[in-house]
Amino acid sequence: MTALGNNAPIGVFDSGVGGLSVLRAIRSKLPNENLIYIADSGNAPYGDKDAGFIAERATEITQLLLTSGAKAIVVACNTVSVVAIEHIRSWCPVPVIAIEPAIKPASQHTKIGVIGVLATRQTIASPSVARLCEAHGKHIKILLQPCPGLVEQVEKAELLSDATRALLVQYISPLLAAGADTLVLGCTHYPFLTPLIRDIVGPDVTIIDPALAVAQQVARRLGDQLASPAQAQPTNAQFYSTAAEEQASAIISALWGQKVTVQGIN
């Protein structure tokens, strides 16, 4: 690609603000890259939506990122990845990098042989997760825990509230009681709840967030299409949301760790 092409942005999207956990990993791994992030918070959460709706939204957002010149698309949403990723890849002309629940690394890490997966209902019920469990669960016990309500708490930036803690205790306690020594964060919203999760599970339970692995895959897939340090300017991240602009700006700024302006899209 030309120098201009190398400076084209990486497009990242999620059902809401959870994909910011992946975006920050990409920024850390690839600090020279320009980034575009789209949060479909006006339709969050996807985890309780039907597959057709999810595929339609993912298609529209991917097309919007392509129109914006994205040289790669990162699907920073486990639900989209397990429901619609093959459809997107079938027509998208640039590399598409997906995220999926980190069941494989968790299965390799557990010492006791019991892992818990926290995810949305749609992700838990997907054929993709069933295949992951079949492939990596032959010699371990995999406990799948749907977590309705957690995405909404993160979308409101209620990361430390009593209500959020109560939900986490409700979902995590049965996993701990069953002996899980490894927890998979199977939704990109959940890493923002890691401090609360750690407080609940204690120091001996491993918490797996696949965001870094996604960033590493982005780097591998783009290869010589990455911006070079000589060409790059300080990382330029643009943020868009289908939620109200003022609300989206406040929440994304809080989660991103610095004040940003979020543009509304229909």
Instruction: Note if 77 is an active site residue.
Output: yes
What gap in Å lies between CA 233 and CA 167, rounded to an integer? 42
* Nearest Cα to Cα of residue 116 among 177, 159, 160: 177
- Strands 35-39 and 182-185, by their bridges, are unpaired
- Give me the sign of the Cα torsion angle 247, 45, 102, 35: negative
Instruction: Note if 187 is an active site residue.
Output: yes
Cα 246 versus chain centre, distance? 23
What is the 8-class DSSP label of residue 12? E
* Nearest Cα to Cα of residue 163 among 193, 118, 121, 186: 193
What is the 8-class DSSP label of residue 7? T
Q: Which of 92, 133, 147, 187 is an active site residue?
A: 187
What is the 8-class DSSP label of residue 223? G
β-partners of residue 237 are 35
Tokens encoding 173: 């306690």
What gap in Å lies between CA 100 and CA 89, rounded to an integer? 15
Kindly calculate the radius of gyration of the chain based on its CA atoms and give it in whole angstroms. Answer: 18
* Nearest Cα to Cα of residue 119 among 99, 157, 148, 141: 148
- CB contact set of 57 (below 8 Å; sequence gap of 6+): 15, 40, 43, 46
What gap in Å lies between CA 220 and CA 204, rounded to an integer? 32
Q: Which of 77, 92, 133, 147 is an active site residue?
A: 77
**Cα–Cα distances in angstroms (integers) from residue 171 to residues 155, 178, 236, in the given order:** 18, 12, 37
Active-site residues: which are they?
A: 77, 187
